Each structure stands twice: as structure tokens, then as C-alpha cells.
């Protein structure tokens, strides 16, 4: 059977994919772009523009451009473009045709068979209109499937297990949440709710207003009133919004954006994630109401959901993760690119129809959360052992994230950046990865001076940690090789299950043994003060194999405690436990 293309015909963006060598893959244009903006236009010379070029002209020539046509699918209307009228099907067909041509170029052959996705709430009319658009584009539409079905297929192509999946899809212009049931390979949408006018575009608008209001206050000029300035600012704030998903703050810089009294005006503004998040929080709260409504309709509690999948570009926003995790008390899955997930799922469906053996999408992810030790609140008490996550587990690699922290007293000269991996709120229960001190801070600075900590984790598991004193720019960097063992998304569940069984069988001892191995492998080079402790641990380790059971157990316990004391940089405790361990080692050596 001919290969079947999978199309995600989105409101903001569209994507085409196919099964290649048993794996779903997005097909890119000559520039390597997988995403095609769902915008169609006619240039002033009459040339048809589809995608980024059309998007670029949308603000300056709206009368020659059509955006978000998906909202009109199924309606008996004509939309004007450069003085002529087109049906929604015709405009959608231009997008599909562009993607079909892209696929032909990428594959070196024409494929006509297609699976196209639509929102779960689409009526029969809307589905039929989508099918017609496909046919107009020269496609043989073998199936129309629901977007949440496609998303769940990509995470579980051959699930024999019965699973209930919640798909939270927040794109550029629309939001929907669906509860999907997979039973013996049959996927059914049990409930779906949403808001067809809520998405990343609203976040852009809110940030645009925030920035333009501040600019107007300072310069007395409203950039929103000048079309070219507005268009530039809209692009600038969207880019800034995207950066804020990974960085704690970012700069919006647009030179010569306007003029006043014959003098040029420039935008140069730093936006903090903490300023941005309150702007969008009310909209995200609305999405949570829809989540509850969908659960109600499906007659389910959040705890009955087996898997939560995030789809749509706007789900990269950290506040989405935070609010949703708090609401559902569940781990969230976003390791497969949220922009590509639906199209990849459509290709999987195509593969299943064509009888192709479809394997999982393999993504490199972080198996553990990586973060640093900070002063904070633990069980209602102030503690210096609080674990502050920076890169959450299951994040696709490579990943870069930054967070801002604060000094704890006036005139603080040094901050320590101690890196841990694990899931516990208390660093003592996580594993130490490495650390360093940022010395020479501005002594004039008061308590609360900002320190930016950035983690960059590459595909080889190399973690680069950078700490910067925000005001002075004082910076220090540490590179940690093998900070994590790479895990591939598919094998992660198996690995987790295997690990859990190992721990069950071996009980506490395995845990202590592991601490010993880590100590031998990874002496904390940044802590020369504790060299003696590492030497004691190494000695103990050599003796453990031959020691009588009781002594070996005691030695393991002390080694574990010493490891924890070193990790917590607790010099007194290190000294105390090291002496006990040395005594035992001395006794055993002589025995």
C-alpha cells in the first residue's frame, strides 16, 4: 500500500509527517522548517504566499491575507483576499497543497494518501469541509481523526493496556482538553471542552499591551497606533514570550521603532518571568475550569487519569506546567515536541492503516529533575536543604533553563551553587551532582540581590551550570560531564519499573551501596575541605567486601551519612561521622 501522509491542519500552524523506517517523522522544507504557519496571502504582484511569507505580510496588508481559516471551516461563507472571494475549504486546500508539495520534495516522490486531524469538537459539517479541502489539494483522504486521538497514539502506538489519557492542547488561537480512553487499541474521546478563542495569541496581546503601556508612559507615544511599529512589536513580544519559557528574564530591543519631535525612539526593556506570569494567569485559570468540566463529563476524578499529555506550542509555558500539575497531582508528558505531536500521531494512524510496523518516537529526555540547593521552607520550617528544580524530569534534550535566586543577607560575598538530581523537596534525599562557589559578589548589595542560575544540558548529558550576579555581571561556570545518564522516552517506563523492582528486592542496602559508588566515582572536587572524607569513604569501600556482615552494614550506614554530610557541606557533621568511620576502618584493618 502507498505510504500515508499525516496532516495536522492547525489554526495557527500546520505540519505534515510520515512513517519512515518504522518511525514517525516530520517533513521539513528546504530551510529545515517543519512548521508551516496556517496563513495564506496574495503578494502585491499576485504571487500566492503560504506560510511564513504570508504571515509576515498579514499585519501590513490584512486585505490580501487570510489567517485562522480553521475557525470558519464548515461555514457557508466566502472570505475576501485581494478583492476575490474564497471558501474556507479553498484556503485550507492551499495550506494542505503546500504541505503535500513539501512532502513530495522531501521524499522524492508524490504521496497522495492522507490522514488529517481535526479537533474533537468539530461537527460533521466541519469534518466534511476538511475532507473537501484535502480533496481540493489533490489528496485521497483515507481518514479524518481527532487531534487528541492522534496525540495519544504518538505516546502509545500499540497500547494493549486500557488507559485513560487527558490531552491538554493549548495552541496559538484555541484551547481544548479531551479525555481519551484507549481500550484494546481502540481510541475513543470520552469528553472534550475548550475555548476556541484562547491561546498564545492572547498572551502576545497582553504582553504587547504591557510593553506598549510602559513605552507610552515614558515617551508619550503609543506604538500600537502605528501599523509598522505594532507589527514589529507584536513579533518582538512573541519572541520574548517564547524565551521566557526557558529564561527567567529577557530583553526586548527594537531600534528606531518610532519618532518624536524629529528624534528616533528605541524600545529597550527587560521583562521578568515574574512580571509576565501574572498577566496570563487569569487565562490559564480559565483552562483549568475546562479541565474540571471535561473530567466531570467523563465522570472521572483526576486520579483515574493514567497519563496527561501536553500538546500545542503554548504548553511550553512553565506556568502551564505548574498550574496543571498542582490541579491534577500528576506527572505531565511533554517530551514529544508539542508542536509536532498531533501530526506525528496522524502519521502513526496512517501507518497503522497501511499495515506498517510503527515503532515509538525516540526522544532523549532527562530521567531526573536537576536543580540546586537553596534556603527555603520545608515542612513549615526554614531550611537550607530545599531542592529548587531548574530542569524538570522528562524534559527533552538538549534543554536550557534559567531561574533567579536571591542572596540571603546584606553584603553577602559568596553564594554556593550545589547541583542535585532527584525528585525530593529535600536535597538530602537527592543525589549530589557537583557544585561551586560564586565569590566576590558586590558587598554593597543588600539582601535579595539577584543571582541568575542557568542549566544547559546537552544531548551527551553534559551539564553546564552558569551563575551570574545580575547587577554586576560577575559570572562563574562549571561543566559537569555525565550529569545524567541519557534515557530514551520509550525505555524510560521499563527502566523505572526495573529500578523499582531492584529497590524492592535489595531494600535499604542497595541505596547505601549506590551512595558509595557515587562517592568513589565522583569525588566532589569543588570541596577540597572534604578530601579526607572522600579518602575515608574510599578506604571503607575497599574493606566492605571482606568485613563481617554486621560491620559491613555499619560501614555502609556511616558511608551514607558521610555522603549526606558532604553533600550538605556540613563540616561539623562530616568531621563527626568521618571519625566514627575511621575508627571502624582502623579496627577492621587490625582485625
Q: Which positions are catalytic?
A: 8, 70, 147, 169
**Where would I find the beta strands (DSSP E) of 282-430?**
307-311, 332-333, 364-365, 370-378, 381-391, 399-406, 414-421
- Cβ-based nearer residue to ligand AMP, 286 or 301: 286
Collapsed DSSP state (helix, strand, coil) of residue 342: helix
In whole angstroms, the minimum distance from the beta carbon of 175 to ligand AMP comes to 10
In whole angstroms, the minimum distance from the beta carbon of 339 to ligand AMP comes to 5
- The grid coordinates listed for 256 are 528606531
Asked if 115 and 15 count as a contact pair (C-beta separation under 8 A), the reply is no
In whole angstroms, the minimum distance from the beta carbon of 23 to ligand AMP comes to 22
Q: State how far the Cα of 114 lies from the Cα of 106, in Å rounded to an integer.
A: 16
Asked if 367 and 482 count as a contact pair (C-beta separation under 8 A), the reply is no
- Cβ-based nearer residue to ligand AMP, 203 or 405: 203
Name the residues that contact ligand AMP, by CB under 6 A.
10, 12-13, 171-172, 199-201, 238, 241-242, 245, 312-314, 316-317, 339
In whole angstroms, the minimum distance from the beta carbon of 311 to ligand AMP comes to 7
- Cβ-based nearer residue to ligand AMP, 341 or 451: 341
Closest-approach residue to ligand AMP (CB) = 200
In whole angstroms, the minimum distance from the beta carbon of 245 to ligand AMP comes to 4
In whole angstroms, the minimum distance from the beta carbon of 15 to ligand AMP comes to 8
- Cβ-based nearer residue to ligand AMP, 176 or 561: 176
- The grid coordinates listed for 545 are 567486601
Q: State how far the Cα of 572 lies from the Cα of 561, in Å rounded to an integer.
A: 13
- Cβ-based nearer residue to ligand AMP, 313 or 367: 313
Collapsed DSSP state (helix, strand, coil) of residue 337: coil
Closest CA to 463 of 408, 522, 413: 522
- Cβ-based nearer residue to ligand AMP, 318 or 359: 318
Q: State how far the Cα of 578 lies from the Cα of 572, in Å rounded to an integer.
A: 10
- The grid coordinates listed for 2 are 502507498
Closest CA to 12 of 158, 170, 239, 154: 170
- The grid coordinates listed for 50 are 503560504
- Cβ-based nearer residue to ligand AMP, 10 or 345: 10
- Cβ-based nearer residue to ligand AMP, 342 or 417: 342
In whole angstroms, the minimum distance from the beta carbon of 150 to ligand AMP comes to 13
Q: Which residues pair with 187 in a beta bridge?
A: 182
Q: State how far the Cα of 365 lies from the Cα of 399, in Å rounded to an integer.
A: 9
- Cβ-based nearer residue to ligand AMP, 65 or 245: 245
Q: State how far the Cα of 545 lies from the Cα of 397, in Å rounded to an integer.
A: 39
| Total residues found in the chain within this entry | 591
Burial class (CB within 10 angstroms; exposed 0-12, middle 13-18, buried 19+) of 396: middle
> What does DSSP say about strands 414-421 and 431-439: parallel, antiparallel, or unpaired?
antiparallel
Residue with C-alpha cell 494567569?
A: 281
Q: Which helix H or strand E contains 479, and what residues bound it?
A: strand 475-480
User: Considering Cα of 374, then 375, then 376, then 382, what sign does the dihedral take?
Assistant: positive
In whole angstroms, the minimum distance from the beta carbon of 335 to ligand AMP comes to 15
Residue with C-alpha cell 493514567?
A: 306
In whole angstroms, the minimum distance from the beta carbon of 88 to ligand AMP comes to 18
Asked if 461 and 483 count as a contact pair (C-beta separation under 8 A), the reply is yes
In whole angstroms, the minimum distance from the beta carbon of 13 to ligand AMP comes to 4
List phi, psi (to 5°) of 87. -85, 155
List phi, psi (to 5°) of 556. -60, -40
- The grid coordinates listed for 484 are 545524567
Angle, nearest 10°, between helix axes 124-136 and 88-107? 50
User: Which residues have CB under 8 Å from 268's CB, separation 6+?
Assistant: 251, 252, 253
- Cβ-based nearer residue to ligand AMP, 169 or 527: 169
Amino acid at each position: 500500500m502507498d505510504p500515508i501522509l499525516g496532516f495536522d491542519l492547525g489554526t495557527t500552524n500546520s505540519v505534515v509527517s510520515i512513517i519512515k523506517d518504522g518511525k514517525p517523522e516530520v517533513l521539513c522544507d528546504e530551510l529545515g522548517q517543519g512548521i508551516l504557519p496556517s496563513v495564506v496571502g496574495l503578494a502585491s504582484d499576485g504571487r500566492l504566499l503560504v506560510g511564513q511569507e504570508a504571515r509576515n505580510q498579514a499585519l501590513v496588508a490584512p486585505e490580501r491575507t487570510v489567517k485562522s481559516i480553521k475557525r470558519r471551516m464548515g461555514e457557508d461563507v466566502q472570505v475576501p483576499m485581494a478583492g476575490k472571494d474564497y471558501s474556507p475549504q479553498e484556503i485550507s486546500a492551499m495550506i494542505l497543497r503546500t504541505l503535500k508539495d513539501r512532502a513530495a520534495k522531501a521524499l522524492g516522490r508524490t504521496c497522495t494518501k492522507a490522514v488529517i486531524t481535526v479537533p474533537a469538537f468539530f461537527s460533521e459539517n466541519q469534518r466534511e469541509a476538511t475532507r473537501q479541502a484535502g480533496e481540493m489539494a489533490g489528496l485521497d483522504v483515507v481518514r479524518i481523526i481527532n487531534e487528541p486521538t492522534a496525540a495519544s497514539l504518538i505516546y502509545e502506538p500499540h497500547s494493549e493496556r486500557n488507559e485513560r489519557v487527558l490531552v491538554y492542547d493549548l495552541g496559538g488561537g484555541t484551547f481544548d482538553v479531551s479525555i481519551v480512553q484507549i481500550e484494546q487499541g481502540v481510541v475513543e474521546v470520552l469528553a472534550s471542552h475548550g475555548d476556541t478563542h484562547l491561546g498564545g495569541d492572547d498572551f502576545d496581546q497582553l504582553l504587547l499591551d504591557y510593553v506598549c503601556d510602559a513605552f507610552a508612559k515614558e515617551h508619550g507615544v503609543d506604538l500600537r497606533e502605528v501599523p509598522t511599529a505594532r507589527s514589529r512589536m507584536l513579533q518582538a513580544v512573541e519572541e520574548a514570550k517564547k524565551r521566557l519559557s526557558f529564561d527567567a528574564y529577557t530583553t526586548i530591543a527594537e531600534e528606531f521603532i518610532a519618532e518624536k519631535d524629529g528624534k528616533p525612539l528605541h524600545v529597550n526593556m527587560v521583562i521578568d518571568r515574574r512580571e509576565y506570569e501574572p498577566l496570563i494567569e487569569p487565562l490559564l485559570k480559565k483552562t483549568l475550569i475546562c479541565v474540571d468540566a471535561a473530567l466531570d463529563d467523563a465522570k472521572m476524578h483526576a486520579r483515574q487519569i493514567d497519563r496527561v499529555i501536553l500538546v500545542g506550542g503554548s504548553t511550553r509555558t512553565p506556568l502551564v506546567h505548574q498550574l496543571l500539575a498542582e490541579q491534577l497531582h500528576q506527572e505531565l508528558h511533554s517530551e514529544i515536541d508539542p508542536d509536532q505531536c498531533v501530526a506525528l500521531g496522524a502519521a502513526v494512524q496512517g501507518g497503522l492503516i497501511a499495515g506498517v510496523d510503527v515503532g515509538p518516537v525516540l526522544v532523549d529526555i532527562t530521567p531526573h529533575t536537576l536543580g540546586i540547593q537553596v534556603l527555603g521552607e520545608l515542612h513549615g520550617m526554614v531550611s537550607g536543604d530545599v531542592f529548587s528544580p531548574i530542569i524538570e524530569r522528562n524534559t527533552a534534550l538538549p534543554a536550557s533553563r534559567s531561574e533567579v535566586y536571591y542572596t540571603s543577607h546584606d553584603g553577602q560575598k559568596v553564594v554556593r551553587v550545589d547541583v542535585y538530581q532527584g525528585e525530593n523537596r529535600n536535597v538530602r534525599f537527592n543525589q549530589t551532582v557537583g557544585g561551586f562557589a560564586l565569590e566576590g559578589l558586590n558587598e554593597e548589595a543588600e539582601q535579595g540581590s539577584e543571582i541568575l542560575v542557568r542549566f544547559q544540558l546537552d544531548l551527551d548529558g553534559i551539564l553546564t551550570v552558569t551563575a551570574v550576579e545580575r547587577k554586576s555581571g560577575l559570572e562563574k561556570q562549571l561543566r559537569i560531564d555525565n550529569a545524567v545518564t541519557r534515557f530514551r522516552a520509550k525505555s524510560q517506563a521499563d527502566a523505572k519499573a526495573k529500578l523499582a523492582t531492584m529497590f524492592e528486592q535489595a531494600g535499604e542496602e542497595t541505596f547505601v551501596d549506590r551512595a558509595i559508588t557515587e562517592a568513589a566515582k565522583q569525588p566532589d572536587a569543588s570541596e577540597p575541605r572534604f578530601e579526607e572524607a572522600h579518602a575515608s569513604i574510599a578506604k571503607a569501600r575497599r574493606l566492605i567486601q571482606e568485613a563481617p556482615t554486621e560491620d559491613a552494614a555499619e560501614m555502609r550506614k556511616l558511608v551514607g551519612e558521610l555522603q549526606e554530610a558532604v553533600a550538605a557541606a556540613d563540616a561539623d557533621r562530616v568531621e563527626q561521622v568521618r571519625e566514627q568511620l575511621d575508627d571502624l576502618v582502623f579496627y577492621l584493618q587490625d582485625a
